Chains A and B, each alone.
Chain A
Amino acid sequence: QQQVKQSPQSLIVQKGGISIINCAYENTAFDYFPWYQQFPGKGPALLIAIRPDVSEKKEGRFTISFNKSAKQFSLHIMDSQPGDSATYFCAASAAGANNLFFGTGTRLTVIP
């Protein structure tokens, strides 16, 4: 059973537009929510992460919005660029362990 549900599966956005990827979870023990970016032939790279004591975290063009009551979080990529074209994974983990539960991934394509 998928512990973290991610949508959409794929996303096409025009250059300069906003990319939005959504994730939902059920396990209330999760208290750390990172997003990873993966390019073909590479391992996932940590992009940005949030803990449930804040509702939003912004780093450059990347913002995580977190809704604890709905058990949902999302990644917003502002001013999307062709170089952002990659697969994005949301993940979650609980205290005391390093194992991450990943969403199924979103393949983002930014067209010039």
Chain B
Amino acid sequence: KAGVTQTPRYLIKTRGQQVTLSCSPISGHRSVSWYQQTPGQGLQFLFEYFSETQRNKGNFPGRFSGRQFSNSRSEMNVSTLELGDSALYLCASSLASGHRWEQYFGPGTRLTVT
């Protein structure tokens, strides 16, 4: 079975721009969660999508948004980028919401904001 794929793997953007990251979950998995990883704050939960609905949201500003499509693929968007948004963005997929004991992470998208 193919793992979680994330595109692009690396991205460089300028402050003030917006960015869209994509995540394709493992086949059959319907829940996708997004995390931000930085050296200072560690791994922090952004949001979870299941059946095209946001199920849970972390403590991030409204500039961070996401969506999920009918094929379970998910995108996250960050608008008006700030230098502090530079991070590794990880998505994790699982069979369903609440199925937290089998969450598989993708390799991440490394976002650099200059």
CA gap between A45 and B3 in the complex, in Å:
11
**Known contacts A96-B98, A98-B33, A98-B103; A43 and B4 CB within 8 A of each other:** yes
**Which of chain A's residues have a CB closer than 8 A to the CB of B64?**
none
B97 and A97 within 8 A (CB): yes
Q: Within 8 Å of chain B (Cβ to Cβ): is A99?
A: yes
**Known contacts A43-B90, A98-B31; A49 and B98 CB within 8 A of each other:** no
A98 and B102 within 8 A (CB): no
**Known contacts A43-B106, A44-B105, A99-B48; A93 and B100 CB within 8 A of each other:** yes
**Residue of A at shortest CB range from B104?**
A46
**Which of chain A's residues have a CB closer than 8 A to the CB of B45?**
99-101
Q: Is the interface of A mostly helix, strand, loop or mixed?
A: loop
Interface size on B, residues (CB 8 A): 27
A98 and B99 within 8 A (CB): yes
B100 and A32 within 8 A (CB): yes
**Which of chain A's residues have a CB closer than 8 A to the CB of B99?**
98
**Which of chain B's residues have a CB closer than 8 A to the CB of A95?**
98
CA gap between A46 and B102 in the complex, in Å:
8
Q: Within 8 Å of chain A (Cβ to Cβ): is B42?
A: yes
Q: How far is the CB of A61 from chain B (nearest CB, A)?
A: 21
B58 and A99 within 8 A (CB): yes
A46 and B103 within 8 A (CB): yes
